[in-house]
Amino acid sequence: MKRFFIILCFIGVSFAIGYGIGIGLEHLTGDISIGGWEMVGLLVWGVVAVVLAFIVHTFIHEFGHMLFGLLTGYSFLSFRLFNVVLQREDDGFHWKRFNINGTVGQCLMIPPGEEQPPYFWYNVGGVLMNLLKVVGCIVALCLFPLSQWLIVLCIGFIVIGLWMIILNGIPMVVSGLPNDGKNILILWRHPEQRRYFGAMLSVVGEQSRGRRLKEMPWEWFHSEPVTPASSVIQLSARNLYYCHLMDELRLDEAREVAEEIGKIGDGLPMLFRMEINCDRLLLELATLNRCEVVGHLWNERLQQYVKAARKYAPLKCAVLFAYEYINNQNPEAAAPYYEEVKTRQNDYAQPGEALTALAVMDYIKGCSINY
C-alpha cells in the first residue's frame, strides 16, 4: 500500500511539474501572468489533485459494481474503501475492518438464486462509472472556462480515471486476483464456470452472517481437480472445496486437495499462492507434521504475510496457533492466538471463518466443542 501511494505521489508531482513548465512557457511568451508562489501552489495542488482523484475514482468504481449489481438482481452485502467496510448482516448494517493485499476497495453482492447468475453488468459497472467521470471532466475542460486550479483537478481526474479503466478493464491478474475484465472474459468463454462465480459470492455472504461452510449447500462446493491451465475462478472454487473439508475437520482430505493446488507452484498468482501456503501449513501441522514440509512452507515471506493478515483473517491466527502448539510444542505461546479469535469472532468481516478457525484449533488441542 505504501509503495502504491508513493507511485501515485510521483505521478502527481510529475504531472504538476509538467503543467508548471507549460504555464512557465506561456508566462515567458507573455500569454499569462503567474507568480513564483502560485507556481509552487500549483505543484502542491497537482499532488493533491491526483490523490483526491484516486480516492474518488475508487469510490465510484465500487459504487458502479453496486449499482449495476442491484439493477441485475443482486443484493447488497458489503462496500469497502481501503480497510473500512460497511456490511449488511441479519440484524442490520455494521462497520467493520478488512483488507486484501494489493486492493483498495471492494463491493460484494449476493447473486440471485440462479445456477448461472448474470455476470457482465456487475463486473463492468465499475469501469463504466470511471469512464463516465472521465468523460464528464473532458466535457468540462472543453465547454467551460475554468481556472488553472480546476484545470489541474480535471486533468488529474482524467489521468487517474484512464489508469483505473485500463487496470480494471483490460483482462489481467492484478495483485493475485483477476480484474473485472478478466472475470468477464473467463465467464464469457467458459459458461460452466459461472456457477463457481455465483457460489463464491454466496459463500462469502453466508460467512458474513456467521454460518460455517459445512452448514451451506454442498452443491456450492463441487469442483474439479485443477491444473496449471485452470482459471483463477476454478482455483478459487477448488480452494473453497478444501476449506469445506477443513470445516468438517476432514483435515487429511483437505490437505491433499491443498497440495494438489500447491503443485502448480509459480503458475499460481502470488496472492493466491500465499493463501494456499497458509492453509497447507495449517493442514500439514494438524495432520502429518512433516518437518521438511513445514520448514519449506514457513519461510520468512510467509511469516510476514501471516502476521500482517491475522488482523482481518482468523485462520491466520489458527496458523500461528498450530505452529506454536505443534511445531514449537508451546501451548502457552499458542493460547493468545486462540483467545484473540474467540474474543473477536463477531468483529471479523466473516464471523463464519472465525468459527472454522476455532474448530480447527480445538481439534489440535484435542477438544470437541460445538459452535
Contact 94, 87 (CB under 8 A): yes
Q: Residue 370: pLDDT above 80? A: no
Q: So what's the pLDDT on residue 147?
A: 83
Given the C-alpha cell 477443513, which residue does it identify? 246
Q: So what's the pLDDT on residue 29?
A: 40
Q: What is the 3-state secondary structure (H, E, C) of 348-364?
A: CCCHHHHHHHHHHHHHH
Q: So what's the pLDDT on residue 25?
A: 41
Q: So what's the pLDDT on residue 148?
A: 81
Give the tens place of pLDDT for each residue, 226-272. Answer: 999 999 999 999 999 999 999 999 999 999 999 999 999 888 888 88
Confidence of residue 149 (pLDDT cuts 50, 70, 90): confident
- Torsion angle of the four alpha carbons 203, 208, 213, 215, in this order, in degrees rounded to the nearest 10: -100
Confidence of residue 28 (pLDDT cuts 50, 70, 90): very low
Mean pLDDT score, 44-69: 92
**How far apart (Å, rounded) are the C-alpha atoms in residues 256 and 272?**
17
Range from 15-29, 105-119, 149-163, 281-295 carrying the lowest mean pLDDT: 15-29
Count of Cβ atoms closer than 10 Å to residue 340 Cβ: 18
Any residues with CB less than 8 A from the CB of 209 and at least 6 apart, and which? 89, 90, 351, 352
Q: Residue 9: pLDDT above 70? A: no
Q: Which of 41-50, 293-302, 362-371 is modeled with the greatest confidence?
A: 293-302
Q: Residue 285: pLDDT above 90? A: yes
Give the tens place of pLDDT for each residue, 58-113. Answer: 999 999 999 999 999 999 999 999 889 999 988 889 999 888 776 788 999 999 98
Given the C-alpha cell 484516486, which residue does it identify? 54
- Please report which helix (H) or strand (E) contains residue 88, including its range: strand 84-89
Select the more confidently predicted residue: 274 or 223.
274
Contact 327, 281 (CB under 8 A): no
Q: So what's the pLDDT on residue 27?
A: 44
Count of Cβ atoms closer than 10 Å to residue 174 Cβ: 17
**How far apart (Å, rounded) are the C-alpha atoms in residues 24 and 6?**
26
Q: Which of 27-36, 165-174, 325-334 is modeled with the greatest confidence?
A: 325-334
Given the C-alpha cell 489521468, which residue does it identify? 159
**How far apart (Å, rounded) are the C-alpha atoms in residues 36 and 63?**
40
Give, as one character, the DSSP assignment of residue 74.
-
Q: Residue 369: pLDDT above 60? A: no
- Torsion angle of the four alpha carbons 214, 220, 225, 226, in this order, in degrees rounded to the nearest 10: -110
Ramachandran class of 190: left when φ > 0, alpha when ψ lies in -120 to 50, beta otherwise: beta
Q: So what's the pLDDT on residue 234?
A: 94
**How far apart (Å, rounded) are the C-alpha atoms in residues 311 and 100?**
11
- Collapsing DSSP states into helix, strand and coil, what is residue 209? coil
- Please report which helix (H) or strand (E) contains residue 237, including its range: helix 232-247
